[in-house]
A and B are shown apart, each in its own frame.
Chain A
Amino acid sequence: MSGDDRSLAVDFTVCDGHGLCAELLPELVGLDEWGYPVLRAATVPAGLLPDARRAVAACPVMALRLSR
């Protein structure tokens, strides 16, 4: 793992299951049967970083986070 790796995390105490993250970043985010995100991988490959940033920005309740 390089030092540039970014990882995704969901604050489930905040998440309302809007599902925008799964729409904008289907490569990394799926939804369970109730519409809450299931992360396929925590680490974000460099090529998906722009999409991941858009998904983070699109979350209406700011439950999705991208961190180092």
Chain B
Amino acid sequence: MNLDTTDTLTPHAPEGLRPPVSPYGARLLHGWYETGRPAGLAEHLDLYGPLPRAAADGALVTAVEQSGLTGRGGGGFPTGRKLRAVAGKRGPAVVVANGMESEPASSKDETLLFLAPHLVLDGAVLAAASVGATTVHLCLARTRVGQERQLAQAVEERRRAGRDPVPVEIHTLPHHFVSSEETSLVNWLNGGDARPQATPPRPFEKGVGRRPTLVDNVETLAHLALIARYGPDWFRETGSPETPGTTLVTLSGAVRTPGVYEVPMGSPVARALGVAGGPTGRLGAVLAGGFFGSWLPVPLNGVALGRGAGVLAALPEDACGLAETAAALAYLAGQSAGQCGPCRFGLPSVAEDFAELAWGRPGATLLERLNRRLGVLPGRGGCRHPDGAARLAASALRVFGDDVLRHVRYGPCSPAHDALVLPVPPARPPKEEEWR
């Protein structure tokens, strides 16, 4: 074993630690490629080495800043800056590990929590130690019963081993689209509904129990656990200088082997599709970033993965992108928390317009009305829910422009009535009591 490469790592990296690398440069999924099963604590420590001594001296915050790690939950915010902001506040902080994953086309967090629970938990307790937090709250979706049981076992295993500097509490929350928003988690943990709250104050200023609160996606925390072990220079060895490291991506639709894969950040979308065996046939478009993302036109022409949620859904050429988008918008409209007028009224109206465009006989004024309504959706809510829906709709009008003209002229195309390619859940709005 060549250990030379590990000598220049972070001060708290134990000597002789060998950074893991697996097919496609996989890091987080290293254990999966090695053994093909979820890693228990002993196996996890064998794979990645012992948990580095938690650094309350700010070394880990600096290392994460230098690594260039950005949030893997969809926001893409620099993680080091967030750690620094929470660490700089007075009084004990709180860490919230966000494993809610409410994006319907994504299963990467669920997969990561299943295969490498201890990597996520490492990251959560290390982040807690580095910002002076005394508690970690791991937030999971209430609908995933087996996940809660598995994570509870993992937490118990660690408690018995007595290694963690802070305790981890598991919570299961209502699983609605906007419930994974960081202010929803904080509000729920504070005894309220899992609905987004107006900001400021942001959680890093005043979060759980009014304390400074770090909310990070579980994949982000898993990367942090590796940076703590192998250092920022190692982290930057893959990905691009602007977007370093790897990212998990859920590949679905018209690809040969759909699933969750780990690819370098900033990979060309076409190469990422290739990791899933490539397209099954000619593609019409690719949805990047999920229901909050944008349709990309084909040919992809070297367009790279962005910082959004790691989701790529390949649409076959003979599918109707307008019908897919109309269904997704109806779901998103039903998932509004109903707190803000522009979202409560605007989103269903846009969804109805889109349904008319996809499946109805659109009148002469439809496009003008739809564009006007889309124009006043963004930036007018307590959270970014309407912004995301407007982005999806606008990208569909752009990418499927020819289809729009044909639908307006001749009515729905025949694939508009086919089964959907996107995994769109039922559009039923949550009942009032289902937010708690």
What is the interface of chain A, defined by CB distance below 8 A to chain B?
10-17, 32-36, 38
**Counting CB contacts under 8 A, is B24 at the interface?**
no
Residue of A nearest to B196 (CB): A13
Contact B198 A36 (CB under 8 A): no
Which of B322-381 touch A at CB < 8 Å? 339-343, 345-346, 373, 376, 380-381
Given contacts A10-B380, A13-B198, A34-B341, 10 further A-B contacts (CB under 8 A): A12-B340, A12-B380, A13-B339, A13-B340, A13-B382, A15-B340, A15-B341, A17-B341, A32-B342, A36-B380
- Secondary structure dominating the interface of B: loop
In the bound complex, CA of A13 to CA of B382 (Å): 6
Contact B342 A36 (CB under 8 A): yes
Contact A11 B341 (CB under 8 A): no
- List the count of A-B residue pairs having beta carbons below 8 Å apart: 38
On chain A, the residues within 8 Å of B198 by CB distance are: 11-14
A68 to chain B, nearest CB (A): 14
**Counting CB contacts under 8 A, is B246 at the interface?**
no
30 A-B pairs in the complex with CB atoms less than 8 angstroms apart: A10-B380, A11-B198, A11-B382, A12-B340, A12-B341, A12-B342, A12-B343, A12-B381, A12-B382, A13-B197, A13-B198, A13-B339, A13-B381, A13-B382, A14-B198, A15-B340, A15-B341, A16-B341, A32-B342, A32-B346, A33-B373, A34-B341, A34-B342, A34-B345, A34-B346, A35-B341, A36-B341, A36-B345, A36-B380, A38-B380
A10 to chain B, nearest CB (A): 7
Given contacts A11-B382, A12-B381, A32-B346, are A38 and B341 in contact (CB under 8 A)? no
On chain B, the residues within 8 Å of A36 by CB distance are: 341-342, 345, 380
In the bound complex, CA of A35 to CA of B380 (Å): 13
